[in-house]
Each structure stands twice: as C-alpha cells, then as structure tokens.
Amino acid sequence: MTHIQEYKKQGIYISIGLLVLLFPFFDTFYLLLAFIAGTLIFSRLQPGSPVFTILARESDIKEGKLTGLVQLFFITALLLLVSLLVGRAKLPLFIIGGAFVITTFGDGISDIINIHDKGKYDKKQNNTKIYSAKSSIVFLISGGIFAFLAAVWILEWSQPAYYPVPYGVLFFLAMLGAISGALLESVTVTEDNIIIPLGSAMTMWLFYAFGSSYNIDTLYLIKILVFAFILGYLAYKVRIADISAMLSATLFGVVIIISSSIYWFFILLAFFFLGSLFTRYKYKYKQAHGIAEEKGGARGYKNVFSNSLAALSLAVAYKAFSPSYSMLLLSAYLGSIATACGDTLASEIGQTYRGEPRMITTFRKVRPGTDGAVSRLGEGAAFFGASAISLLAVVLIPGIQDTYIVAIAAIAGGFIGTNIDSVLGATLQQKGYISNNGVNLFATISGAIVSGMIYLAGS
C-alpha cells in the first residue's frame, strides 16, 4: 500500500469519528444496538468486498479482516452497556463519545504523522509502527481538542439535558483522556482500538466521579499541561525518559498539580532527577558487570507508574479530604516518594560496593545486583535519598504543620520502605511471583503507610 493510499485510509478512519455527532439524538439503548450491529457487520466483511477495500487500513489488510473497526465498535458498545447498567448520570454519554473521538481523531491523526516518518526515515520497514514525540504531541492536542468539542456537542444537544457540567471540568476530562490515550498508544503495538478507548474512558470516568472538585479554569489548566509536558519532553530529550515515560510524567504532573500544588509535583520531580543522576553514577562500571539499567538509564512508563502511583493516589486523596487530613496525607505522600528515591539510590549506588553485599533475609553473601541484596553503602544511600526528599519538602512546600514530625515520618517511611522493597525482592521477586515494578509499587505503598502511622503517633 502506497503512502497516499495509507493517508486516505486514515482519513476515512478519522471521519468515522464524526458518528459522535449523532450521539445526543438517540437513546443510549439504540446507540448500543447500532454499535453491536456495526461490530457484527464489520466482523463479517471479507477481503475484496467493496466496503472492505474502502475501510481497511494497512493492519487490516495484513490480517484479512477489519480488526480495528471491530474492536472500536465492540469497546464502544461495551461502554454503552455499562452506561445503561450503572445509569447515564454516572457514566455519561459525553465520556463515551470523548473516548470514541480520542481514538479516531487522536490515533488517526497521529498515525498520519507515523506514516510520514516511516516513509521518510525507515523505508525498509514499512510494516513497523514508529513512535515519536511529535506524533504523541499531535495525538494529545488533536484528541484533547476534539474530545472537548464532542463533549460540549453531546451535552448541548442531549434531550433531556444532562446535569450541567462546567466547561472547565469538560476540558480537564478531555485532556486527561487524551494524555491517557497518547500514553496507551505509545506502549501498544496491536489492539490500539481496545486499549485506547477503554483506557481513555476509564480515566475520564474516574475523575468525573469527583464532580465539581475539578472545575478548573481552562487557561490555568492549559498552563499546567504545557508546563508538565515541557518538563517531560526535556526529560525525553536528555534521555532520562522514553516517550511512554514522557507522557506518563505529563499525566501525573497535571493531576498532582491540580489536586495538590506545584510544590508537591516538584518533590516528585526531585526523585526522578536524583534517580536519573545516580543511575549514571559509575555507569560504565555497572555496565561492565552487567548490572546497569538498560537504554542508558532512560525510564519507561512502567517505572513511572510503579514508583509514582501511590503518590498520585495520595495527591488525589488530598484534593478530596483536605484540610481535615492534609498533613497526614502529605506525610504519606512524602513517605512514598522517599521510598522510591531511597530504593533507587540504594540500588544505583549500592551496586558499586566493592565488597560482597548480603541477602537481607539470610545475611549470606551474594553477588552485587542480586534482588534483595543490601550493603552498608546501599543502606547509607537509602537514608540519604529519603532525607533529601524530606528536606526538600520542608524547604519547598509552604504551610507545613508539625514540620519536624512530618520530616521524620518521611525519612523513616522512606528508609523502612526501601528495606521492605529489599525483603520483597529477596522473596516474592526471586520466586517469580512479582516483577521488579510490582515490588516498587508495594514498597512505595508500604513507605506511605509507615510515614502516615508515624505522623499519627507523633502528632
């Protein structure tokens, strides 16, 4: 298939997104029936038929069926069914329409960029999907804008009218859905039309459940989005992060800043900066011994999520429960990040220990880099990492009450959480029950809990 033909196919795929214009004029039940019918019809079309020839993209031609459209219509039908079951007020039609548009417009337009780049840089691998920061930016912008417009259209023309939703909330949800979609698009090779609409819809639905708490001024949100994305993009350019991590950091940054403050986000950034800095500490030595991070130490989305998901959840909880539990949640937030920082520094610095580290569960000597191995150097690095996060929080975050208790809770939670990470690595990870990313997630949750308990005991 020539590039001109591919562009035309993508244009047709994008135009299917215009079906969202019909959403407000039909009951959810009839939309469900229509998308089920579309799923069945597209699944039965055979290669060579006129409709198949018009609709089939390159991936569909390779598989001999309209896989992309079948998946998109099936997931949309599934979301419509959920909306019927839980109630249209709880899962509104504009969220489903937004996810549909993010997938068609966002993914379709970014694929046009990918087709162009594929032809320009990699003509020998025309079947390989190319991801770039440029296509991700295009996905985010186009998906977000069209999802917002679709949401406004559906709400304005729906009869009977929905409970009014402020435009600030609509724009916030559209941007979160678009960032989630761009992230999912960057980490999937196949089944985009399952992962992207489902992930985008679930993200928007989650934050819609918080109601007017996220009614944010549109200009302020754009500034935050640009700020978070620029920081993520700079991390990508200096090879601290790959594309998926860049988008993950953007998503986390927007949510954390809006839920708490920019200072909370700076603390998370401090962890990533310190982690990346010490990942490159004696990198050639670690590389020679086979214990260095891959890709030059550039982090991916799994690393961002496993180390930051607990912090993100606590920032969202802060939005919901402040000011009643603000210092408790701040202590837990700092404990989770202190754990991530302490663990990263303990690993990256501890691996350069010239002696033989010991397994944390048996104290037997093991080779450097073994999961669950600890050393004096590593333990010192863990304490330093946790203390650095605590100190930065005291300096940067205004209005901290019980400062000494919060600081001590963060250090203790980070240090203990780091050693819980080692215990999990020595047991569950070595037995194959959990991955390194899973260990990081459980350790950061543990550090948050420990810091929270210490704050409660001391306050």
Side chain identity, residue 172 = F
- What CATH architecture does domain 264-458 belong to? Orthogonal Bundle (1.10)
pLDDT band at 119, cuts 50/70/90?
Answer: low
Q: What is the mean pLDDT of residues 297-305?
A: 80
Per-residue CA distances from 349 to 13, 35, 372 (Å): 50, 55, 15
Is the model's pLDDT at 64 over the cut of 80? yes
Rounded distance between C-alpha atoms, residue 343 and residue 450, angstroms: 15
Residue 123: what pLDDT?
47
Percentage of the chain beyond pLDDT 70 is 90
Is the model's pLDDT at 291 over the cut of 70? no
Rounded distance between C-alpha atoms, residue 89 and residue 9, angstroms: 36
Q: What is the mean pLDDT of residues 103-131?
A: 67
Rounded distance between C-alpha atoms, residue 18 and residue 243, angstroms: 29
Q: Which of 70, 78, 88, 82 is nearest to 26 (CA)?
A: 88
Select the more confidently predicted residue: 74 or 280.
74
Percentage of the chain beyond pLDDT 90 is 54
Residue pLDDT, tens place only, 216-265: 888 899 999 999 999 988 888 887 888 888 889 899 999 999 999 999 99
Residue pLDDT, tens place only, 120-148: 555 444 444 555 677 888 899 999 999 99
Report the range of poorest mean pLDDT among 8-17, 121-130, 353-362, 369-378: 121-130
Rounded distance between C-alpha atoms, residue 454 and residue 212, angstroms: 33
Residue pLDDT, tens place only, 384-410: 999 999 999 999 999 899 999 999 999
Residues pairing with 358 in the sheet? 365, 374
- For CATH 1.10.357, list the domain ranges present in the chain: 264-458
Residue 118: what pLDDT?
62
Residue pLDDT, tens place only, 157-192: 886 555 678 888 899 999 999 999 988 888 776 678
